[in-house]
Amino acid sequence: MGTVNEISRVYPWGNERRFNAFPDYFRRLYGSRMQKVSVDAGFTCPNRDGSKGIGGCNYCNNKAFNPSYCLPSKSVTMQIEEGIRFHKKRYRKVDSYLAYFQAYSNTYSSLDRLSALYSEALAHKDVKGLVIGTRPDCVNGEILDFLRDLSQRCILILEFGIESCYDKTLLRINRGHTFKEALDALTASEERGLNTSAHFIFGLPGETREEMLNEASIISDLPLKSIKFHQLQIIKGTKMEEEYQKNPDDFEVFDWEDYLTFIICFLERLNPRLVVERFTGEAPPRFLVKEVWGKKRSDQIIGLIERKLEELDTWQGRWYEGSKA
What residues between 125 and 154 interact with ligand SF4 by CB under 6 A?
135
DSSP H or E stretch at residue 259? helix 256-269
* Cβ(196)–Cβ(234) below 8 Å: no
Binding pattern for the stretch 158-197 against ligand SF4, x by CB under 6 A and - elsewhere: ---x------------------------------------
What residues between 15 and 54 interact with ligand SF4 by CB under 6 A?
45, 47-48
Q: Give the residue with the Cβ less far from ligand SF4, 56 or 129.
A: 56
Q: What is the distance between the alpha carbons of residues 71 and 232, in angstroms, rounded to a whole number?
A: 25
Report, in this order, helix, strand and coil percent for the chain, each rounded to 5: 40, 15, 45
Q: What is the distance between the alpha carbons of residues 26 and 29, in angstroms, rounded to a whole number?
A: 5
Q: DSSP alpha helices (H): ranges in 67-110? A: 76-90
CA-to-CA separations, 153 to 56, 123, 128, in angstroms, rounded: 34, 12, 10
3-state secondary structure of 164: coil
Q: What is the CA radius of gyration of the chain?
A: 19
Q: Give the residue with the Cβ less far from ligand SF4, 88 or 180.
A: 180
Q: Give the residue with the Cβ less far from ligand SF4, 128 or 239.
A: 239
Is residue 198 a contact point for ligand SF4 (CB under 6 A)?
A: no
| The one segment of 56-64, 73-81, 253-261, 278-286 that binds ligand SF4 by CB under 6 A | 56-64
Is residue 228 a contact point for ligand SF4 (CB under 6 A)?
A: no
| Closest approach of ligand SF4 to the CB of residue 139, in Å | 13
| Closest approach of ligand SF4 to the CB of residue 227, in Å | 17
Q: Give the residue with the Cβ less far from ligand SF4, 45 or 212.
A: 45
Residues that bind ligand SF4 (CB under 6 A): 45, 47-48, 56-57, 60, 62, 104-105, 135, 161
